[in-house]
Amino acid sequence: MTALNDLIASFAAIGATEDGGVCRLAVTALDKEARNLFLREIGNRGLVPRTDAIGNMFGVAVLEPATDEIVITGSHLDSQPTGGRYDGAYGVLAGLLAVEAVRDRCLANPGAARRNLAVANWTNEEGARFQPSLTGSSVFAGGLSLQDAYACADSDGVTLGDALAVIGYCGITPLEHRPVRYVELHVEQGDRLEQAAGDIAAVSGAWMTRKISVVFEGDYSHTGPTPMALRRDALRASARAIEALYVEVARENAGAHASAARISVYPNSPNVVAGRVRVWFEIRHEDEAVVFAISDRFLKRIERESREIGVDISIAADERRSASLLDPAGVELVLAAASDLGCKALTLKTVTGHDALAIQKRIPASLIFVPSRGGLSHNPREFTAPEALDKGYAVLVETLWRMVTTRES
């Protein structure tokens, strides 16, 4: 579909990196540029623009003025520092075109629409600049207060509230309609669809994720003359902890995923033994008991091993995302739409977090995957073939059509 591919290319140019990727962190000048372009695209299609207090953007198609019910589709435009062009943006842009297509179909079938339709761009899904991730959708769903979201600070101490004000997207035009369903189209970011030679996945739920931020407190000293036995090296303790995490995952032997993907060192000088280090750990598995078994054992181990070398530890954050389920009726609807369009579809659970998981806490939410080549994501080389993107778009259009024209939500 030329229009979709052209849109993806246009947005990929904003924050484009030399290696072909996209670096467009949330609520930066580049994010503002992408938001401005999205706003123009909303206007070009005759949709009603809305922006709420946390910066979530909507393009509304009023299909049935007699009701306040609305179905929402969308995703996010922010990226990781090493992002590709499809993660998030695909769902927003395919959603934009799908809303337009469903609206035109409703115009050709007077009286068919039972509810209204909107496309959304959710603020700070990635969490690369501000933690926690899924910020905008969590505020929308009531899982995070607006004030707590505003108070989230980046590594320079800039708060999300201040950053939104700077780029002019601290909105005052919230969505007037009453949301009844949400659908998100996304690249899988894994290889299960590709391995199964599938076209579409209807996502039934998510793995549990536990994200633990640990602070290691030692003491500063000169890297040269300080006797080895007297050093309280926080970086050494953190290095031992990182390896311990992988050891505990292997010991459990249950197929869990884990990582230590971010580290902050102070004073970060080549001549000073690190006195304070913070590491961000995470453990994921579809069985919550497995996540707790690994993480609890891990925490006890690193406390003991750090103490042995004179380093104290404390927990700065411990975020637990349950192994949640998505709307079962939505799964069946997506599978039926895919089947009717001749697509090979399957059901699976997502390992990663998505806005649909946050929104499910407020309204029934659905998540649709298309294949990712090699399962590569958060990487400039992420790729989904144009024909796969088109199949996902077609399934999204049909799913939205059925959601806005059926009597029951």
The binding site for Zn(2+) comprises: 76, 87, 126, 186, 378
Task: Tell me if 372 sits within 8 A of 187, measured CB to CB.
Answer: yes
Residue ranges at the known binding site: 76, 87, 126, 186, 378
Number of Cβ atoms within 10 Å of the Cβ of 228: 6
Alpha-carbon gap, residue 74 to 354, rounded angstroms: 11
The pair of structure tokens assigned to 321 is 């995302």
What are the residues whose beta carbons fall under 8 Å from the beta carbon of 33, sequence distance 6 or more? 14
Sheet order of strands, 116-121 included: 48-51, 57-61, 116-121, 69-75, 178-187, 365-370, 200-206, 345-350
What are the φ and ψ backbone dihedral angles of 200, each rounded to 5 degrees?
-140, 140
Alpha-carbon gap, residue 346 to 89, rounded angstroms: 23
Number of Cβ atoms within 10 Å of the Cβ of 103: 21
The region that residue 15 occupies, defined by phi over 0 for left and psi between -120 and 50 for alpha, beta otherwise, is left
Alpha-carbon gap, residue 10 to 13, rounded angstroms: 5
Alpha-carbon gap, residue 75 to 65, rounded angstroms: 25
The pair of structure tokens assigned to 243 is 């390896």
